[in-house]
Homo-oligomer: A and B are copies of this chain.
Amino acid sequence: MKFSSKIERCALSPIRKFYPYQVEYVKQGKKIYHLNIGQPDIKTPPIYFETLRNFEQPVLEYAPSPGIPVLIEAVQKYFEEIGIRYDTSDIMVTTGGSEALIFALATILDEGDEILVPEPFYPNYNTFVNTTGGKIVPIPTTPEEGYRFADKARIEKLITPKTRAIMFTNPGNPTGVVLTHDECKMLADLAVEHNLFLIADEVYREFIYSGAALSSMASFDHIDQNLILIDSVSKRFSACGARIGVVVSKNKEFMNQLLKLCQARLSVATLDQLASAQLYTVEKSYFDEVRTEYKKRRDTVYSALQKLPGVLCTEPQGAFYLMAKLPVKSADDFQVWLLTQFHDNNETVMYAPGGGFYATPGKGLDEIRIAYVLNSRDLERAIELLGMGLERYNG
């Protein structure tokens, strides 16, 4: 039987190929430190579970297609508190940031359309764009420049009549890069100048370690008609399993088109919406604590990596990821070796090999993404194992 050519262009998770080795390693009674997964270990605010416990309606009904008002209003208030005014009709609830991206891209991309995305990027963008028939055109970066992409000349020369949008994660997954105000302004002006949509995936907005106030692309008023914000409760409140996200835009026609998709899939899970609305009532101090913890982890990982000979890594300023260049030819091969030939005291380490984060073939093969979602002691040990591995692998 024939499958869609669009789905054929998509790939299974690049992490998946290491799964058999992982299973085998663990079966031998040995331990793996996981730097490859972005699942935070921070407690979900208990009010989430309390809200579920207090639900008393006898029938679990569909929610309205655009989302439950109490959640939409909570999101509206959240933005208001960082100085951004949205109408409730500018916000639609989705099943995670994932569905927010899928729907936003399906709304704007046609067969053969191009979307500019700085690489390395979140690998699921590939599948989201491929299924629309559109194509990612990567904005190149280098480890040596710390993966900064927001350079006007570099981006402008990639724009063609088929370019519809620029999409980026800020703070960046997998790079940890946080855009400066000037870089944001440049991107905003560029979008207006070339009549492009800007898809700003800001799900890591709270995770900035410079002490700067929260910011958003939405603070630029002149891109009202260009900007599509993607947001989610997953990382903000360590509630990944809630699958609650939003698409936010002041472009009424865009929202009206998006509503077609929201209506067709009927609604987002009712109880997860009600509980997520309550997450927005947590004290501001919650974020300070979380940020302090992640900053500590970031510092732990970064300073440990700095001590490894031949490893290149720029200090990440946000999210909870970093990219590092290793002194190996293939991070894939090295990962297999770490899972089959290596152990120290019956322990090894896993990371996400860099190739899967690039659209350009052959790029990123000697790079890795590290998610620093473990406690600092485990992170120290994980980087120690990485260093020992590199020494033996290259020795």
Contacts and interface: CB of A to CB of B under 8 A. Distances in A.
Interface stretch (A73-81, A124-132, A318-326): A124-132
A306 interface: no
Contacts of A251: 1
Interface residues of A, number: 79
Contact of A267 (B107, B128, B195, B241): B241
A12 interface: yes
A392 interface: no
A43 B56 CA distance: 12
Interface stretch (A46-54, A84-92, A172-180): A46-54
The quantity of this chain's copies bound in the complex is 2
A225 interface: yes
Contacts of A61: 39, 240-241
Interface stretch (A181-189, A252-260, A290-298, A341-349): A252-260
A260 B127 contact: yes
Contacts of A52: 52-53, 55, 271
Interface string A57-69: 0111111010000
Interface stretch (A94-102, A139-147, A206-214): A94-102
Contact of A264 (B62, B128, B265): B128
B257 A7 contact: yes
A252 to B, nearest CB: 11
Contacts of A272: 269, 271-272
Interface stretch (A26-34, A108-116, A148-156, A329-337): A108-116
B1 A60 contact: no
A17 interface: no
Contact of A3 (B95, B108, B239, B241): B108
B240 A62 contact: yes
A243 interface: yes
Nearest to A134: B4
Contacts of A261: 7, 10, 127, 131
A268 interface: yes
Nearest to A132: B4
A128 B254 CA distance: 18
A172 to B, nearest CB: 18
A238 interface: yes
A394 interface: no
A249 B5 CA distance: 20
Contacts of A225: 1
A111 B127 contact: no
B59 A106 contact: no
Contacts of A269: 95, 241-243, 269, 272
A205 interface: no
A135 interface: no
A229 B107 CA distance: 27
Interface string A236-248: 0011111100000
A9 to B, nearest CB: 10
Contacts of A126: 264
Given A39-B61, A48-B60, A243-B266, 10 more contacts: A1-B253, A4-B109, A5-B110, A6-B133, A8-B257, A16-B263, A43-B59, A62-B240, A63-B241, A240-B267
Task: Give the 4 A-B residue pairs with the shortest CB-CB distance, closest first.
Answer: A241-B270, A127-B264, A98-B265, A60-B241
30 contacts: A1-B197, A1-B225, A3-B108, A4-B106, A4-B132, A6-B106, A8-B257, A10-B260, A10-B261, A12-B259, A13-B263, A39-B61, A39-B62, A41-B59, A42-B59, A44-B60, A52-B52, A52-B271, A60-B238, A60-B242, A95-B95, A98-B264, A102-B265, A124-B264, A127-B263, A133-B133, A241-B270, A241-B271, A243-B269, A243-B270
